[in-house]
Amino acid sequence: MTTAQLEHAFQPHGSAQEVMHCRAPEVLMSGPAGTGKSRACLEKLHLLALLNPGMRGIIIRKTLASLGSTALVTWREWVAREALDAGLVRWYGGSPQESPQYRYANGSVITVGGMDKASRIMSSEYDVAYVQEATELTETDWEAITTRLRNGRISFQQLMADCNPDVPHHWLKRRCDSGRTVMLHCKHEDNPILFDPTTKAITERGRDYIGKLDALTGVRHARLRLGKWVAAEGLIYEEWDPSLHLVDPFPIPDSWTRWWSVDFGFTNPQVIQMWAEDPDGRLYLYREIYRTRRTVDQHARDALATCTEPVPGYEHPAGAERFAHHGRRWTEPRPRGIICDHDAEGRAVLERELGIGTIPARKSVTDGIQAVQGRLRKAGDGRPRLYVVRGAVVERDQELEDAKRPTCTEEELVGYVWAVKPGAAGGLKEEPLKENDHGCDATRYIVAERDLSARPRIRRL
């Protein structure tokens, strides 16, 4: 009897080799974009499952939905492809009793989960956990995961993670600085796709990829190209704190007032933000359209698809012009107002497609910024008055993703900085830098409308 042999090629270099040998209870791979951090962690997890029958591992991100287009793609296409094709690893989609997981022929299991559904994954015990984009988690999330690492089927239990750098005071950076977590510093030279491991010369793919990163500016260049834990110089919204202002999705009562805020664009992103206002006047950005290269009527269609449904049996009148709102009914409260920038043509098209009037935004930039800053600060009850729901963006723009540009308002906020007027004495901060600011502009519109006016200006068609 012959035994089939599978071949899988992976040669770790630099930090990838370090993580393969690391047995510390907590290890973080930190570095710029494209260094192969996720691949290395997943390869180690897969190898441990193959070598240790009955091992239990888990792949985690803040939200389960975000894993499908990130870590699990790498897992299927690069890490476990041969084992999946041979049937040594099989996918199980989950049930009310069990989370989705990859099941190995030797009895090992790799569970897939998100901290947004923590109860599904925290009822089990594991040997190794891998957290992708660990900066998305809270320290409470992190410590909760460590309590589940007690399965005891391998000689060590480990929480390993990767991330792009964030602000220098981030809890994860402080945890590494204190010695509780081992930080491995990753470089682009660690990735053999970008740099030849023998000659150390940059590859053709490396030139293309590094060229995109070199085109970044400010804090995004420092973090995604250089791998530095830095805050943006001249940051406008210094009050922004993801651990405070980012909240998990929750059912929004129909009694809460809805508002939309719009910043038009085509080559640059067009942004449609959907906000809910609670009875105490707090604003929650719960849904967002953030896309390039789509016309206003296409954006209107996309927006309505998230909050309306087709009317059964609707027949459009023959010969009548058709717009996006025709034959659809609302599944959530209609917005009380739609605040837009001053593009007259864009407003006209949006009104026609939505069947709802719009309100011109208050364009006083300084006043609007100060109003947003005020909402980000904690009020008398210890809570801010503006929140962003995690994962609010409906569809990530792949073109923006590939260019390492922000793909949602949340990603803009950390790099929204003051521009210095040429010749200004002492580096005087004059106005925001007009770059990657489309979601920030839309946020300023809604806050200015709510806080800088005595009463709503509502235009009805």
pLDDT in tens, 267-297: 999 999 999 999 999 999 999 999 999 999 9
pLDDT in tens, 373-387: 999 999 999 999 999
Task: Give, as one character, the DSSP assignment of residue 197.
Answer: T
Q: What's the pLDDT score for residue 460?
A: 46
Instruction: Note the residue count of the chain.
Output: 461
Tokens of 250: 């929750």
Which amino acid belongs to residue 283?
Answer: L
CB atoms under 10 Å from CB of 296, counted, come to: 23
Write the CB contacts of 236 (distance below 8 Å, at least 6 apart in sequence): 369, 373, 416, 417, 418, 432, 440
Q: What's the pLDDT score for residue 1?
A: 46
Nearest to 386, CA basis, from 357, 419, 418, 409: 409
Q: What's the pLDDT score for residue 389?
A: 95
Residues of the chain with pLDDT under 50: 1-2, 455, 460
Task: Give, as one character, the DSSP assignment of residue 417.
Answer: B
> 239 and 385 in contact (C-beta within 8 Å)?
no
pTM of the model: 0.76
Burial group, residue 344, by CB count within 10 angstroms (0-12, 13-18, 19+): exposed
Give the largest Cα separation in the chain, rounded: 84
- SS3 of residue 398 by DSSP: helix
Torsion sign (Cα): 368, 374, 377, 379: negative
Region for residue 46 given its phi and psi (left: phi exceeds 0; alpha: psi -120 to 50; beta: otherwise): alpha
- SS3 of residue 27 by DSSP: strand
Task: Give, as one character, the DSSP assignment of residue 82.
Answer: H
Nearest to 324, CA basis, from 292, 345, 344, 295: 295
The full set of domains in the chain, from first to last, is: 15-190 (3.40.50.300), 242-312+321-451 (3.30.420.280)
